[in-house]
Chain A
Amino acid sequence: MSPFTLIKIALKALLRNRMRTFLSVLGIVIGVAAVIAMVAMGEGSRISIKEQMTAMGSNAIIIMPNRDRRGGVQQESTSELLEEADIIAIRENATYINGVSPMMTVGGQAIVGNNNSPTTLSGISADYLKIRNYEIEDGVMFDDVTDRMSKVCVIGQTVVKNLFPEGDPIGKTIRYKNIPLKVIGTLKAKGSGDFGQDNDDVIFTPYQTVMRRFSATTNIRQIFANSIGEGYAEKATEEIMGILKERRGWTKPVDPFRVFTQEEMIQTITSTSDMISLVLTIIAGISLFVGGIGIMNIMYVSVTERTKEIGLRMAIGARGKDIMFQFLFESVIISLLGGVIGIALGIAASEIVKIAFNMPMSVSVTSVIVSFAVCFATGVFFGWYPARKASRLDPIEALRFE
């Protein structure tokens, strides 16, 4: 009997029991849709983390002093403070570094007339823009040498919107902690990340200005740098640490500074999110398995119910094989139908979640293909035993079945 005819027979049998078919299909639909949505969620968060990191600046490295352990039994300090001379030394001597900048933050309100904006003031050097992938939209960026300690700032688009609703902020003055800062440039919008922070809610000013006028300190809390390319993070880190140690004549086995590379951070975050999505996918997979058991159950009922039909078909010339494939096709059709609908539903659900809850979702082609293949395997696996049982019936016994 040709496969085409067998498919037609299987379809007819499924259509005869619409409700039953629908419920069996539903079991698979739910399983597949759950798998697709869960994988989309995991994939979405992975991509969003990647984007986040790229927005932070490609190949960024952050250096900060070791946590200060006060009041402990520590005998020797393993912590050193960072200072301006470190920046200059790194900039002049490091070869695996594209740019380096301090990061000194001051909390407060930026005020212009009746408008205010609760934006953190960041003291940086001009390199910071290329480290973090910021670009100037209007005006100019300040210069580390000529604008040293001068009361100027460059602001992001959110600050422009909050403080200068009429636009045209260049040349105007912002008051931050009662100190006037003249706006000399604006930054192109970068948009917000999914961690909630707004990359455009920034006010940049020369770090010397912060040291001198805002925090009255020469200590630098963080240094941002970026390596010359992907894969150079480790070399760049070693090099920076070498320069910093050499300047201090540091010989202790413990490094005086902590270094975070972007690659490490990506690994940490993605390994967590991978774990979560793996667990969710396994749960979804279990529901697909339960759907498969549903198919097996219904196929058993179907075989028992149609024992007489099987007997008749055998009496008029059907071979065991023909009967086997007839039932196997039924279960495969159920599972593939469930797969197709489930994939569609999973994609739809992912899109709805994306829009309604603003969550990063990304349906991967791989998950669609794998789901489809798994459905086929489910149909064959769970349909196999009932189909074989049908194919091995004795036609005489089967015909006598009531």
Chain B
Amino acid sequence: MGDETVHALRGVSFDIYPGEFVTIMGTSGSGKSTMLNILGCMDKPTSGEYILDGQHTEKLKRDALAKIRSKKLGFVFQSYNLLSRTTAIENVELPLLYNSSVSAAERHRRAIEALKMVGLESRMNHLPNQLSGGQQQRVAIARALVNDPVIILADEATGNLDTRTSYEIMMIFQELNRQGKTIAFVTHEPDIATFSGRTITLRDGLLKKDVKNENVQDAKAAFEALPPPETFEEE
């Protein structure tokens, strides 16, 4: 961008341990996007270090970072980012295409397995435009799971969804976490953060808070507690 140097993050240091479900909170401009880009090996810190699964990443080249993304990371985006005119299963298979050690048959098997974990195996041949927003995000979660990553990174994954669907998505994340998946979830919605075990809050590029959540909400219970969807009944 411009000539002015902006330190998006300064002196931020923390560890995420296997099996944790961490939410990263902050207002816009707090540096949470930069944080996610570094966690996702899409960007490198100008100074400092980032060790992922025991491996230093600061000095790696583009191709090496791509390889780490392919083998160790799973991304879930706010706007789903599914390939249009490409079936759900093909979308889920996509990350494995860039891993030449996985055969076509294995790819297919693992994609089906991932779709089962998000409850969409019956829709595997649907195109994204034949799916609801929540379903599309579930396909995206399956895509993030398919390469069995060491951490799943979610960027405002519920940002485009209504509350009911958001909670449904959080149910899936909680279920994955229970099965041992490590999750880092960027959000600016406080109620979403209550579903995670730990919340890191950033402000103006600084780590403001890093707290363990003693009272983790159950997404399923929260979902059931919601008022039923509005029905238009004549009085």
Q: Are A317 and B63 closer than 8 Å at their CB atoms?
A: no
Which residue in chain A gives the minimum CB-CB distance to B140? A312
Interface flags, B64-81, vs A, CB<8A=1, else 0: 001101110001010001
Q: Are B66 and A318 closer than 8 Å at their CB atoms?
A: yes
Q: Are B69 and A312 closer than 8 Å at their CB atoms?
A: no
Which residue in chain B gives the minimum CB-CB distance to A2? B100
Which residue in chain B gives the minimum CB-CB distance to A402? B79
Q: Are B63 and A316 closer than 8 Å at their CB atoms?
A: no
Is A395 on the interface with B (CB-CB < 8 A)? Answer: yes
Is B42 on the interface with A (CB-CB < 8 A)? Answer: yes
Which residue in chain B gives the minimum CB-CB distance to A308? B81
Is A399 on the interface with B (CB-CB < 8 A)? Answer: yes
Q: Are A317 and B67 closer than 8 Å at their CB atoms?
A: yes
Interface flags, A2-27, vs B, CB<8A=1, else 0: 10010001001000100000000000
Q: Are B63 and A1 closer than 8 Å at their CB atoms?
A: no
Q: Are B83 and A316 closer than 8 Å at their CB atoms?
A: no
Q: Are B75 and A316 closer than 8 Å at their CB atoms?
A: yes
Q: Are B66 and A314 closer than 8 Å at their CB atoms?
A: yes
Most chain A CB atoms below 10 A, which of B81, B94, B97: B97
Interface flags, B97-126, vs A, CB<8A=1, else 0: 111100000000000000000000000000
Q: A308-B81, A320-B62, A395-B42 are in contact. Are A315 and B98 (CB under 8 A)?
A: no
User: How many Cβ-Cβ contacts under 8 Å join chain A to chain B?
Assistant: 58
Is B95 on the interface with A (CB-CB < 8 A)? Answer: yes
Q: Are B40 and A1 closer than 8 Å at their CB atoms?
A: no
| Min C-beta distance of A262 to chain B, whole Å | 64
Total interface residues on B, CB under 8 Å, equals 25
Is A67 on the interface with B (CB-CB < 8 A)? Answer: no
Q: Are A316 and B95 closer than 8 Å at their CB atoms?
A: yes
Q: Are B69 and A317 closer than 8 Å at their CB atoms?
A: yes
Q: Are A317 and B43 closer than 8 Å at their CB atoms?
A: no
Bound complex: CA A2 to CA B98 (Å): 9
Interface flags, A235-262, vs B, CB<8A=1, else 0: 0000000000000000000000000000
Q: Are B37 and A396 closer than 8 Å at their CB atoms?
A: yes
Q: Are B62 and A316 closer than 8 Å at their CB atoms?
A: no
Q: Tell me the A8-55 residues at the B interface (CB within 8 Å).
A: 9, 12, 16
Q: Are B98 and A319 closer than 8 Å at their CB atoms?
A: yes
Is B178 on the interface with A (CB-CB < 8 A)? Answer: no
Q: Which residues of B contact A213 (CB under 8 A)?
A: none
Q: Tell me the A299-320 residues at the B interface (CB within 8 Å).
A: 308-309, 311-320
Bound complex: CA A336 to CA B85 (Å): 25
Q: A395-B42, A396-B42, A396-B43 are in contact. Are A317 and B98 (CB under 8 A)?
A: yes
Is B198 on the interface with A (CB-CB < 8 A)? Answer: no
Bound complex: CA A12 to CA B67 (Å): 24
Q: Tell me the B30-75 residues at the A interface (CB within 8 Å).
A: 37, 40, 42-43, 62-63, 66-67, 69-71, 75
| Min C-beta distance of A309 to chain B, whole Å | 6
Interface flags, A317-338, vs B, CB<8A=1, else 0: 1111110000000000000000
Q: Which residues of B contact A399 (CB under 8 A)?
A: 77, 81
| Min C-beta distance of A323 to chain B, whole Å | 10
Bound complex: CA A314 to CA B66 (Å): 7
Contact for B98 among A16, A308, A309, A316, CB less than 8 A:
A316
Q: A1-B97, A396-B42 are in contact. Are A320 and B63 (CB under 8 A)?
A: yes
Q: Which residues of B contact A318 (CB under 8 A)?
A: 66, 70, 98
Most chain A CB atoms below 10 A, which of B40, B62, B143: B62
Q: Which residues of B contact A5 (CB under 8 A)?
A: 97
Q: Are A315 and B97 closer than 8 Å at their CB atoms?
A: no
Q: Are B75 and A315 closer than 8 Å at their CB atoms?
A: yes
Bound complex: CA A5 to CA B97 (Å): 8
Q: Which residues of A contact B81 (CB under 8 A)?
A: 308, 311-312, 399
Q: A5-B97, A309-B83 are in contact. Are A317 and B37 (CB under 8 A)?
A: no
Bound complex: CA A311 to CA B42 (Å): 10
| Min C-beta distance of A379 to chain B, whole Å | 23
Q: A5-B97, A396-B43 are in contact. Are A16 and B85 (CB under 8 A)?
A: yes
Bound complex: CA A5 to CA B85 (Å): 18
Q: Which residues of B contact A396 (CB under 8 A)?
A: 37, 42-43
17 more A-B contacts (CB under 8 A) besides A317-B95, A396-B42, A396-B43?
A: A1-B97, A9-B97, A16-B85, A309-B83, A311-B81, A313-B98, A314-B42, A315-B40, A316-B75, A317-B69, A317-B70, A317-B99, A318-B98, A319-B66, A319-B98, A320-B63, A322-B98
Top 3 nearest A-B pairs (CB, nearest first) are: A317-B70, A317-B98, A316-B95
Q: Which residues of A pack against B, CB within 8 Å?
A: 1-2, 5, 9, 12, 16, 308-309, 311-322, 395-396, 399
What would be 23 A-B contacts, judged by CB atoms less than 8 Å apart? A2-B100, A12-B86, A308-B81, A311-B81, A312-B83, A313-B94, A314-B69, A315-B42, A315-B75, A316-B75, A316-B94, A317-B67, A317-B71, A317-B95, A317-B98, A317-B99, A318-B70, A319-B62, A319-B63, A319-B67, A320-B63, A322-B98, A395-B42
